[in-house]
Amino acid sequence: MNDRFGFRELCRPAAVLFVALGLVAAAPAAAQQAGFEEPWRLDLGSSSLTFQSVKKGTIVETSKFATLDGSIGKDGQAKIDVVLESVDTGVDLRNVRMRFLFFETYKYPVATISAKIDPAALGALAEERRLRVDVDYTLDLHGVAKQMRSPVVVTLIDDDTVSVASAAPIIIAVADFGLAENIGKLEQAVGNITITPSTSVSFDFVFDRAAGDPGGVVAAVAKPETAALESSGNLTRDECVTRFDTLSSTPAIYFRTASAELRSDSEPLLDTVIDIVKRCPDLNVEIAGHTDADGSDSANQLLSEKRAGAVAEFLTWKGVEQDRLRTVGYGEKMPVAANDTRENKSRNRRIEFRASGG
């Protein structure tokens, strides 16, 4: 990493979903009373994972994830990955807000569930064909790893296929995974509409026996082209505007105190900005700097201009054409909150992006 920028090398709704994934890991063990003779893999086409969120206390919205990747090796080690960018609410704007404001996919792109499966735990499944069991697993979401237990219904479809479904809707509090603050970001983005800080999930996962895999561990499943629920090439103008507006509400560009020196933890979001700028080739981008009201008007004006300039310099260093960028500083003139608390002042110290042209 180039030292000139001061860098060193470096839904609330969805929290519940990942619980479901962890439960899946127990299923295939039941089909083999003597152990894991072959590895198993998640059948994405036959599996489903939905979660419910509640707005205004009564409005229920159902969403899902498009891309999951799961396997169980011969040693009984189970792992399931959830690609968070594949969140599908049915509306592009909501998808973008969930990705950038709630999940912070630029820092935490994948949630992982892992478990060690005991081959004897579900030994009766071959005879009973359907069992209800409790499963222990670890959920790693948003940088927080938590030990959990939940009930599932396991059904042996045939000798090579097992279904694992939720025994009942599973309720999760997003605060358990450090996502409570991100609920607030979503609420602000939708006009201060109240969002319940817990959610429920339902799922039906299907595992297939991966016979003939000499490695004993299932290879990663290829990500479907439509999994991200947006085109892989250039974005439409509306999609570009939506993404820049949402990124402007993501307080993840940081500077040294009273300085225009970018901090290293700004890089994940800035890399996302670069990707979007390159996928909107017909648009130019305004980079606007804002400060809180501490200090003099003139000092804040200068600082906001320098910070916007530092972001533009980083983007051009990473390959964005300089003539597509315009910088402006607004100082303390355009606050988004009163400058009366530490939290509100932090909200006012921000970088915003606006698309123009096209």
**For the chain, which domains are there?**
15-209 (2.40.128.110), 235-356 (3.30.1330.60)
Cα gap 278→234, rounded to integer Å: 8
Residue 230, pLDDT score: 66
Using alpha carbons only, what angle is made at residue 76 by residues 157 and 156, rounded to the nearest 5 degrees?
Answer: 10
Core vs surface per residue 14-41: b (16+ CB within 10 A) or e? bbbbbbbbbbbbbbbbbbbeeebebbbb
pLDDT at position 214 is 41
According to DSSP, the residues that pair with 198 across neighbouring strands are: 173
Mean pLDDT of 47-53: 88
How many residues comprise the chain? 358
The answer to whether 76 and 116 are in contact (CB under 8 A) is yes
Please, are residues 105 and 84 in contact by the beta-carbon 8 Å criterion? yes
- Run of H or E including 186: helix 180-189
Can you tell me which residue has the tokens 């939708």? 190
pLDDT tier at 288, thresholds 50, 70, 90: very high
pLDDT at residue 137, as a whole number: 85
| pLDDT at residue 225 is higher than 80 | no
Residue range 200-213: average pLDDT? 76
d(CA 354, CA 244): 6
At 221, the pLDDT band (50, 70, 90 cuts) reads very low
Q: What are phi and psi of 242, to 5 degrees?
A: -55, -45
Residue 238 has pLDDT above 70, yes or no: yes
pLDDT level of residue 259 (50, 70, 90 thresholds) = very high
- pLDDT of 84 higher than 60: yes
Q: Which of 86-90, 214-218, 319-323 has the highest mean pLDDT?
A: 319-323
Instruction: Characterize 72-83 residue by residue with b for buried, 16 or more Cβ atoms within 10 angstroms of its Cβ, and e for exposed.
Output: bbbebbbbbbbb
In which band, very low, low, confident or very high, does the pLDDT at 20 lie, cut at 50, 70 and 90? very low
**CB-based contact 53:13 (threshold 8 Å):** yes
Q: Which of residues 216 and 55 earns the better pLDDT score?
A: 55
Phi then psi for residue 14, to 5 deg, are: -80, -15
Report the C-alpha gap between 124 and 146 in whole angstroms. 29
Tokens of 340: 């009366």
pLDDT band at 4 (very low <50, low <70, confident <90, very high): very low
Where residue 31 falls among pLDDT bands split at 50, 70, 90? very low
- Alpha-carbon distance of 148 to 145, in angstroms, equals 10
**168: Cβ contacts below 8 Å, ≥ 6 apart:** 151
- Where would I find the beta strands (DSSP E) of the chain? 40-42, 48-55, 59-65, 68-72, 77-83, 87-88, 110-116, 130-141, 144-158, 161-166, 170-173, 198-209, 284-290, 325-329, 350-356
Cite the DSSP H helix spans in 12-61.
15-24
